[in-house]
Structure 1
Amino acid sequence: MRVITIGISGPSCSGKTTITRILQQLVKKTIVIYQDDFFKPDTDIPVDPETQLSNWDCPEALDFERLIQTIQYVQQHHVLPTDYHSNEVNNTHDGSDLVTPQQISEWKKKIHQNNNAGNVDDDTLWLIVDGFMLISDPQLYGLFDYRVFVTASYTTLKKRREDRQGYHTLEGYWVDPPGYFDAIVWPEFLRAHQHVPGPHHQQQQEKQNLDDDHDVILIDTDILSIPEAAETVISALWS
């Protein structure tokens, strides 16, 4: 069986899980791995020295080694490890249910019509990895056949994050304290993604671009609606 691995990355609340769950509906065989399932135990999450808040958005909060091993296991064995249990599937704050069945049907038809490369068949497993810190890690980056970066402006991301109620964690449930986006989420995201272009750079005087990396599909959800964002990814995967 052939395995095609897609990394769908981007800041919190950018829309990556919406894209992930739309793609799940379009192909026959999929496995989804959520990076949010690879946070360390709650008691091991680093504490920000300035605010004394738990820092869930830094690389040190994640178990990258276990995530990489899980991806490689699926690539080799075509199933998830028996010890992988997802909490993220219980987080339903995505917009995939806003896409109509008619639109899903049209996309399926388009995929089959454009299947010149043989990317849709019974012997293809689509492994989708959804996470906020995938293309900033070199070892992870190299595991993907396709890379999608979903982003938006500071204003949009802040509003979406603050409108959410909370997140399931390894040992409980996390709700952002007041000011958490500006104190932790936003600066950590910028620190890890200085090399990636997009509207998240609008507040900065200087912008560092991804070095002409055409392997990354950039999705700006300030500009694109959910169907338009999905259409862009679909067109890139099945061009």
Structure 2
Amino acid sequence: MSSKWKVLGISGVTCGGKSTLADRLQQQLEHCVIISQDQFFRADDDPNHEWIDVSPTIRHQNWESMASMDWEAFARAIDVVLSKEPPNHSALLIIEGHMIYNYKPICDLCDKKFFLTLEKDQCFARRDSRTYLPPDPIGYFDRWVWPLYLQNMEHMKSIQNDIPIEYLDGNCDQNIIFETVLQVVKQLFQ
């Protein structure tokens, strides 16, 4: 792996602003690559999914479960990027996703970790305004999304290494969040 790469983790609650933050950083920084957890969700019909009964007649994949991800493919994609020599100077790899700190091999790669939070009502309002494929069944947020977010956050805290997680309030002005993280990234390369 090239020592010229720095790895930034951006995680947090669903609809907390992770992708927006990562995209803004990539637009601002030269030689910045994003690998998003969303690229590595299992196919809808993958037999490795954890299925949940949301009603007597509706079964749905649990997209908040670790089983919803192809973690090995995710880790391989990261390894491919880190094995490349960046042009002329250091480069930044951003790993983004709501469960990235729950998978220790990926969590341990991060030189700096951020975690965006929201209160439950704000999170639901943002999620409710989005379109998901497949769509969230009625009750999915309250019965699975929010409880598993809390459970995953506790698990994430239990497997942390020496690199602390910096928590950011996703309700804050996006420009303030961006500037805060940008300053930290610049410090990584000093």
Same fold (TM > 0.5): yes
Alignment of 1:2-17 (within 5 A): 2-17=4-19
Q: State yes or no: 1:72 paired with 2:79.
A: yes
Q: State yes or no: 1:123 paired with 2:71.
A: no
1-structure distance, mates of 2:160, 2:96: 23
Aligned residue number for residue 25 of structure 1 = 27
Gaps of at least 5 residues in structure 2 are none
Total equivalences in the alignment: 180
Aligned with 2:147 (options 169, 173, 187): 187
Aligned with 2:138 (options 156, 159, 178): 178
Q: Work out the percentage of aligned pairs sharing the same amino acid.
A: 28
Aligned with 1:58 (options 39, 52, 65): 65
Deviations 1:28-84 (A, max 9, x none): 1111111011111111232114643221110011011111111111101258xxxxx
2-structure distance, mates of 1:214, 1:194: 16
Aligned residue number for residue 174 of structure 2 = 226
2-structure distance, mates of 1:61, 1:165: 19
Taking structure 2 as the reference length, the TM-score comes to: 0.84
Q: State yes or no: 1:142 paired with 2:149.
A: no
Q: State yes or no: 1:154 paired with 2:157.
A: no
1-structure distance, mates of 2:184, 2:39: 27
2-structure distance, mates of 1:213, 1:71: 21
Aligned residue number for residue 237 of structure 1 = 185
- Give the letter aligned to residue 58 of structure 1: S
2-structure distance, mates of 1:127, 1:41: 25
Deviations 1:193-222 (A, max 9, x none): 1266xxxxxxxxxxx899896632211112
2-structure distance, mates of 1:210, 1:56: 21
Alignment of 1:99-110 (within 5 A): none
1-structure distance, mates of 2:159, 2:88: 35
Give 3-state SS (helix, strand or coil) of 2:113's partner.
strand
2-structure distance, mates of 1:126, 1:233: 13
1-structure distance, mates of 2:123, 2:148: 13
- Give the letter aligned to residue 32 of structure 2: T
Taking structure 1 as the reference length, the TM-score comes to: 0.68
1-structure distance, mates of 2:160, 2:68: 27
What CA RMSD, in Å, does the superposition of the two structures yield over aligned residues? Answer: 2.5
Gaps of at least 5 residues in structure 1 are 80-120, 167-172, 197-207
Contact residue 4 and residue 145 of structure 1 kept, 8 A? yes
2-structure distance, mates of 1:71, 1:40: 17
C-alpha spacing 1:214/1:5, structure 2 compared with 1 (3 Å) = closer
Give 3-state SS (helix, strand or coil) of 1:18's partner.
helix
Give 3-state SS (helix, strand or coil) of 1:42's partner.
coil
Give 3-state SS (helix, strand or coil) of 1:14's partner.
coil
Deviation, structure 1 residue 234: 1.7
